[in-house]
Amino acid sequence: METRELTVVAGSFVGFQLLFSVASPRLSTAITPGYGRLPPNKLTEWNSRLVSTVHALIVGLFCLYILWFDDAVNANPVWGDPNLVKLNVAVTCGYLLYDLVLLACNWSSMGDGFFVCHHLAALYAYGYVLTRGVLPYFANFRLISELSTPFVNQRWFFEALKFPRSHRMVVLNGVAMAAVFFLVRIAVMPSYWLSVFATFGTPEFERLGVGAQVAWITSCIALDILNSIWMYKIARGCYKVLTGRGGRGGPGGAEEKPSNNHTD
């Protein structure tokens, strides 16, 4: 891994930690008085989700820019110029490391095995991108999923502030969350895997070596399984709200949210 990527990973880790511990409490207090009335465990999760939203917006929008304008990556998805993709992946790796530390420090209230598996699978695959510069198109494509995270977090913010689940803003956010989650995490699966299968047997694929091939395929399978589980929970919760079956104390407003802090 080059010095630039190491610096970005470290800077991302420190930056998100400062956002969690310093900026988020001040910003949240200024935005809503309800923040100060939350119990300590919810304050921690609130700050965590605000950081998650900031990360998702940075990475997700940069991902779209690369997808639309980086011709080198799109022309050769396996060995294209990874310069911009590596920067985006480095930011994400720093965030994932920060979040793993946060989960470990608050395991009793925030810990969840699904999220640990998600983060470790992502770090395992992205490690190859950072160290060898391989699979830039596919690494960038996976980061499109971050665009659903702000809606998931906003749903939790509404619930923490005790908005009724029948509130118009809550329902609209929930429907948008289900739609965006489906579009960026589920609907893209056929296109993604067709692109993956198209590389099989090519010289570019063979150059990867067994280690990178296994890391790529197994991590993608694991992430897609997790995304499918989360989509099922979100769709079930959304159905309950739209049909009037999701009461205030029910299992999900517009989503049966994962038990941890976010689905990035």
> Taking residues 148-152, what's their average pLDDT?
95
| CA atoms of 253 and 204, how far apart (whole Å) | 46
Residue 106 included in any domain: yes
Residue 255 in domain: no
Q: pLDDT at position 113, please?
A: 84
Average pLDDT value for residue range 129-152: 92
* Ramachandran class of 84: left when φ > 0, alpha when ψ lies in -120 to 50, beta otherwise: alpha
Under the banding of pLDDT at 50, 70 and 90, the label for residue 66 is very high
Task: Please write the tens of the pLDDT for every residue from 191-247.
Answer: 999 999 999 999 999 999 998 899 889 888 988 998 999 899 988 888 887 777 655
* pLDDT over 60 (residue 63): yes
Highest mean pLDDT among 38-52, 73-87, 164-178, 210-224 belongs to 38-52
- Number of domains within the chain: 1
Answer yes or no: is 206 within a domain: yes
Residue 97 inside a domain? The answer is yes
Residue holding tokens 């160290």? 131
The percent of residues above 90 in pLDDT, for the chain, comes to: 62
Under 8 Å between Cβ of 185 and 148: yes
Share of the chain above pLDDT 70, in %: 92
Q: Residue 198: inside a domain, yes or no?
A: yes
Structure tokens at 82: 């990874």
Cα–Cα distance, 188 to 57 (Å, whole number): 19
Q: What is the pLDDT of residue 158?
A: 95
Distances, alpha carbon 134 to alpha carbons 73, 83, 204, in Å: 10, 11, 10
Is 137 within a domain?
yes
Q: What is the pLDDT of residue 57?
A: 97
| Segments forming the whole domain that contains residue 83 | 3-242
Is 10 inside a domain boundary? yes
Residue 234 lies in a domain: yes
Higher pLDDT, 54 or 165: 54
Q: Is the pLDDT of residue 252 over 80?
A: no
